[in-house]
């Protein structure tokens, strides 16, 4: 007799398998006070139908009791769950929410809009893949939008959705929308974003959030949710080198000595050669131990205990790294800082620097420049004020191992802690060991852009090159297959041309593609005609 498994079990397995395969997207919403972040996230959660009945009932009850929408659902209440937030009228922490659709799962960081809480926004952004920059259509680009865009770029987020909200309050004006988009594109041209996707929205009324809006017939781009579901985030295209900062030396008895920590990047197997930094001693991995069992391989994001084949002196804060591609080790570093305290940061100030698992006393040797929020120029200064972003040189009491932040978030980001109050006063990103060439000389106006924006541009160029190469290989393969099957050169060429145009339209959307072509042509014409250096060189 044949036994057929119950259809439900098949469905359950299919369901679980489908959900396991879904990719995860972490995003952050940033905007000024009252731009509508909480309303937008609440609307996304509500419309993606991921609320339980009891959550819905509570939302409806709270909307009647505390809501600002005259009896209608106040979506902000879904997100601003803390009572004290509502009392003060602001969100007071980074609230992480989890939701999922059939195509992807999402973790969203909702952070307060007020300038004094920019630190929360920076914290949320440090783990995000995509940023939604929210703009109130009535106010347009504000100083806080510029600051958020700068921080988002500085923290290595390449994909931005420019969510122009409250379009209902500007009569769904296409002109207003285009004006804001143009202003943002001009401002952000040097910030190295791979993709800026502008979307006209009303978070309150739900337009273009999940379903396309009838109010914006002039907009044919994606809704916010479909953008989030389809935005292509670079997966770990190239294998990153192994890094594990040691958090704890585990020595329960004389027979066992393991080094516990979170794998910050790359992967590791027993037998792999590793170097311990800053000491530089080389050894190999004996075992990868976890609570349940030993592993054959550990990956970034896993917490493990490593044992080594040699007796090596290792303490908390050291980094275990692959021998082939090692981190740098230095006691003076060039860094970008987002300064968050109210008092000014000055040369000579002393802090505790926490990088990975290492904590070392640090002194500010030089404050090189501040990034001007309007022009993004690096302005020479000798101190940084609250919420400034600038470049500094730090001297550490002892050498630490690190990677430039643009290469590795896990081993390139740090915080500065006040040694008396223990407050976190700055978020820092390592650019590299101090570039001695500048020591003693006056910083020039463009130093910062050389070290940072140039690196971002170079990284962007490489990832665009990689994406283009794969698309070109795909198109060539399609044309070759078409030719082999039909032996018709014209037909194969036509298929190839259609394929290229389709890929470009899919990537940009036809409106943006056309706008880009026009923009590219105008820049080319301008550079050819007016840039004396270029015309001289050519």
Ligand X SMILES: Nc1nc2c(ncn2[C@@H]2O[C@H](COP(=O)(O)OP(=O)(O)OP(=O)(O)O)[C@@H](O)[C@H]2O)c(=O)[nH]1
C-beta separation of 357 from 245 below 8 A: yes
Which tokens hold the place of 470?
């794969």
Residue closest to 350 by CA, chosen among 397, 401, 403: 397
165 assigned ligand-binding residue: yes
Q: Show the beta-strand stretches assigned E in 31-138.
A: 95-100, 104-110, 130-136
DSSP per residue over 192-257, as a string? Answer: T-SEEEEEE-BTTTTBTTTB--TT-TT--S--HHHHHHH--PPP--SPPPPEEE--EEEEEETTEE
181 assigned ligand-binding residue: no
How many angstroms separate the CA atoms of 385 and 60, rounded? 44
37 assigned ligand-binding residue: yes
200 assigned ligand-binding residue: no
32 assigned ligand-binding residue: yes
- Residue 355 burial by Cβ neighbours in a 10 Å radius (0-12, 13-18, 19+): buried
**Which residue, 117 or 402, is less far from ligand X as judged by CB?**
117
**Which residue, 222 or 475, is less far from ligand X as judged by CB?**
222
Interaction between residue 90 and ligand X (CB under 6 A): yes
How many angstroms separate the CA atoms of 320 and 259, rounded? 9
Subset of residues 400 to 429 that bind ligand X, contact rule: CB under 6 A = none
Interaction between residue 129 and ligand X (CB under 6 A): no
* Nearest distance, CB of residue 183 and ligand X, angstroms: 20
Integer angstrom CA distances of residue 518 from 96, 193, 512, 514, 523:
40, 19, 10, 6, 9
472 assigned ligand-binding residue: no
Place of tokens 């987002």: 338
How many angstroms separate the CA atoms of 149 and 201, rounded? 19
- Residue 95, phi then psi, degrees to nearest 5: -100, 120
* Nearest distance, CB of residue 173 and ligand X, angstroms: 14
Q: Which helix (H) or strand (E) holds 146?
A: helix 143-154
* Nearest distance, CB of residue 237 and ligand X, angstroms: 34
**Which residue, 76 or 456, is less far from ligand X as judged by CB?**
76
Interaction between residue 334 and ligand X (CB under 6 A): no
529 assigned ligand-binding residue: no
- Per-residue binding string, ligand X, 147-186, x by CB under 6 A, is ------------------xx-xx-----------------
322 assigned ligand-binding residue: no
Selected range binding ligand X among 200-208, 331-339, 340-348, 476-484, rule: CB under 6 A: 200-208
- Per-residue binding string, ligand X, 227-266, x by CB under 6 A, is ----------------------------------------
How many angstroms separate the CA atoms of 506 and 34, rounded? 34
* Nearest distance, CB of residue 32 and ligand X, angstroms: 7
Q: In sequence order, what are the residues at sequence separation of 6 or more whose Cβ sits closer than 8 angstroms to the Cβ of residue 424?
A: 119, 340, 415, 416, 417, 418
| Angle ∠(273,274,275) on CA atoms, nearest 5 | 140
**Which residue, 72 or 230, is less far from ligand X as judged by CB?**
72
Residue from 28, 181, 196, 204 in contact with ligand X (CB under 6 A): 204
* Nearest distance, CB of residue 476 and ligand X, angstroms: 46
* Nearest distance, CB of residue 109 and ligand X, angstroms: 13
Interaction between residue 76 and ligand X (CB under 6 A): yes
* Nearest distance, CB of residue 120 and ligand X, angstroms: 10
Residue closest to 122 by CA, chosen among 137, 144, 102: 144
Interaction between residue 203 and ligand X (CB under 6 A): yes
468 assigned ligand-binding residue: no
Subset of residues 24 to 43 that bind ligand X, contact rule: CB under 6 A = 31, 33-39
- Per-residue binding string, ligand X, 339-378, x by CB under 6 A, is ----------------------------------------
Interaction between residue 112 and ligand X (CB under 6 A): yes
**Which residue, 151 or 244, is less far from ligand X as judged by CB?**
151
C-beta separation of 47 from 206 below 8 A: yes
How many angstroms separate the CA atoms of 118 and 325, rounded? 35
Applying CB under 6 A, the site for ligand X has a residue count of: 21
Residue from 63, 197, 202, 475 in contact with ligand X (CB under 6 A): 202
**Which residue, 45 or 345, is less far from ligand X as judged by CB?**
45
**Which residue, 58 or 307, is less far from ligand X as judged by CB?**
58
* Nearest distance, CB of residue 108 and ligand X, angstroms: 12
**Which residue, 68 or 342, is less far from ligand X as judged by CB?**
68
Strand, helix or coil for residue 520 = helix
Q: Tell me the residue length of the chain.
A: 538
* Nearest distance, CB of residue 114 and ligand X, angstroms: 6
* Nearest distance, CB of residue 276 and ligand X, angstroms: 45
**Which residue, 136 or 431, is less far from ligand X as judged by CB?**
136
**Which residue, 76 or 355, is less far from ligand X as judged by CB?**
76
33 assigned ligand-binding residue: yes
C-beta separation of 415 from 345 below 8 A: no
Q: Which residues of 235-272 are buried (b: 16+ CB within 10 A; e: fewer)?
A: eeeeebbbbbbbbeeeeeeeeebbbbbbbbbbbbebeb
* Nearest distance, CB of residue 215 and ligand X, angstroms: 11
34 assigned ligand-binding residue: yes
Q: Can you name the residues that pair with 400 across neighbouring β-strands?
A: 330
Annotated binding site for GTP: 31-38, 110-114, 165-168
Annotated binding site: 31-38, 110-114, 165-168
Using CB under 6 A as the criterion, which residues of the chain lie in contact with ligand X when the complex forms?
31, 33-39, 68, 76, 90-91, 112-113, 165-166, 168-169, 202-204
């Amino acid at each position: 007799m044949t036994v057929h498994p119950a259809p439900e079990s098949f469905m359950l397995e299919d369901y679980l398998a489908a959900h396991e395969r879904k990719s995860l997207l972490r995003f952050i919403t940033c905007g000024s006070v009252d731009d509508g972040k909480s309303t937008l996230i609440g609307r996304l959660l509500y419309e993606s139908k991921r609320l339980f009945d009891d959550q819905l009932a509570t939302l409806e009850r709270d909307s009647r009791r505390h809501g600002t929408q005259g009896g209608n659902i106040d979506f902000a209440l879904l997100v601003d769950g803390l009572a004290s937030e509502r009392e003060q009228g602001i969100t007071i922490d980074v609230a992480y929410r989890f939701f999922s659709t059939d195509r992807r799962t999402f973790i969203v960081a909702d952070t307060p809009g007020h300038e004094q809480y920019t630190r929360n926004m920076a914290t949320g952004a440090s783990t995000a893949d995509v940023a939604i920059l929210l703009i109130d259509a009535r106010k347009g680009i504000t100083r806080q939008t510029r600051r958020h865009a700068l921080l988002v770029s500085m923290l290595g987020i390449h994909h931005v959705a420019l969510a122009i909200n409250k379009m209902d309050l500007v009569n769904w004006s296409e002109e207003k929308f285009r004006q804001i988009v143009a202003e943002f594109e001009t401002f952000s041209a040097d910030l190295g974003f791979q993709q800026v996707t502008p979307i006209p929205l009303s978070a309150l009324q739900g337009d273009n959030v999940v379903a396309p809006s009838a109010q914006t017939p002039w907009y044919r781009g994606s809704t916010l949710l479909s953008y989030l579901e389809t935005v292509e985030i670079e997966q770990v295209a190239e294998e990153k080198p192994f890094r594990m900062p040691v958090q704890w030396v585990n020595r329960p008895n004389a027979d066992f000595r393991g080094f516990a920590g979170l794998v910050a990047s790359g992967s590791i197997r027993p037998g792999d050669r590793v170097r311990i930094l800053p000491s530089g001693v080389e050894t190999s991995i004996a075992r990868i131990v976890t609570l349940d069992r030993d592993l054959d391989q550990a990956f970034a994001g896993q917490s493990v205990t490593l044992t080594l084949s040699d007796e090596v002196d290792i303490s908390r804060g050291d980094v275990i790294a692959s021998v082939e591609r090692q981190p740098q080790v230095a006691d003076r570093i060039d860094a970008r800082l987002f300064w968050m305290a109210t008092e000014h940061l000055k040369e000579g100030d002393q802090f505790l620097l926490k990088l990975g698992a290492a904590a070392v006393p640090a002194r500010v040797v030089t404050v090189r420049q501040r990034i001007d929020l309007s022009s993004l120029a690096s302005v020479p200064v000798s101190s940084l004020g609250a919420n400034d972003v600038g470049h500094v040189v730090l001297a550490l009491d002892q050498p630490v191992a690190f990677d430039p932040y643009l290469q590795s978030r896990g081993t390139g980001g740090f915080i500065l802690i006040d040694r008396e109050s223990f407050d976190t006063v700055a978020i820092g990103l390592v650019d590299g060991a101090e570039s001695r060439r500048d020591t003693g000389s006056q910083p020039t106006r463009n130093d910062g852009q050389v070290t940072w924006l140039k690196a971002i541009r170079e990284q962007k160029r490489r990832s665009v090159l990689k994406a283009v190469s794969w698309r070109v290989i795909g198109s060539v393969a399609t044309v070759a297959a078409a030719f082999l099957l039909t032996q018709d050169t014209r037909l194969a060429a036509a298929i190839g041309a259609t394929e290229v145009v389709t890929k470009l339209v899919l990537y940009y959307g036809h409106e943006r593609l056309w706008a880009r072509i026009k923009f590219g042509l105008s820049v080319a014409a301008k550079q050819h005609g007016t840039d004396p250096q270029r015309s001289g060189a050519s």
